[in-house]
Amino acid sequence: MLVRVTADELRADEAIAAVASPAAGAIDLFLGVVRDNNLGRRVGHLVYEAYPSMAEKVMAEIGAEAKERFGLEACAILHRTGRLEIGETSLLIAISSAHRASAFEGGRWLVDTIKKKVPVWKKEVWEDGEAWIEGPESLGMQQAPAGLTG
């Protein structure tokens, strides 16, 4: 399974090649890209930080679970770190499967689960400031008592 945390640009052709399989009738590709706004603020760029060794380990575990749950042929998960400009790809997932339904469902589950568990963080940089983002879907936010999540 191709799993990587890297400061280098993510390339879709590499991820597609990594999941190619004669048994696959579908390849699903997901790109998480940097957008120029969040919660009404204009975002200049993002800075991603990771706990690289653990992030790759958790991504491999999630990928193995997705293969099992959805009967996938293969999956590839790549996350970029460092400074990313608007429009650049921060997360790249490729999935191959015999049929399209499991590829779409597996892809959705993979992205959702990555956002919960993988130790990667993004900082938004605005014209007039910056802040580390706490993912609303992250496990840490889900354990917080009401009123302490802000």
Partner 1 sequence: MTVLLFASIAEAAGARRIELPVAAGDTVAAVRERLLADRPALRRFVPTLMYAVNEEYVRDDAAVPDGATLALIPPVSGG
Residues that bind partner 1 (CB under 8 A): 32, 48-51, 53-55, 57, 79, 90-91, 111, 114-123, 132-135, 138-141, 143-145, 148-149
Query: What minimum distance in Å lies between the beta carbon of 141 and partner 1?
Result: 5
Query: What minimum distance in Å lies between the beta carbon of 130 and partner 1?
Result: 10
Is 121 or 126 the residue whose CB approaches partner 1 more closely?
121
Rg (CA), the chain: 16
User: Is residue 103 a contact partner of residue 111, using CB atoms and an 8 Å limit?
Assistant: no
Query: What minimum distance in Å lies between the beta carbon of 69 and partner 1?
Result: 19
Q: What is the 3-state secondary structure (H, E, C) of 30-65?
A: EEEECCCEECCEECCEEEEEECHHHHHHHHHHHHHH
Is 24 or 60 the residue whose CB approaches partner 1 more closely?
60
Contacts of 127 (CB under 8 A, 6+ apart): 42, 44
| Amino acid code (one letter) for 39 | L
Query: What minimum distance in Å lies between the beta carbon of 127 and partner 1?
Result: 20
Is 26 or 60 the residue whose CB approaches partner 1 more closely?
60
Residue 29 to residue 116: CA distance in whole angstroms: 20
Residue 35 to residue 105: CA distance in whole angstroms: 24
Is 20 or 131 the residue whose CB approaches partner 1 more closely?
131
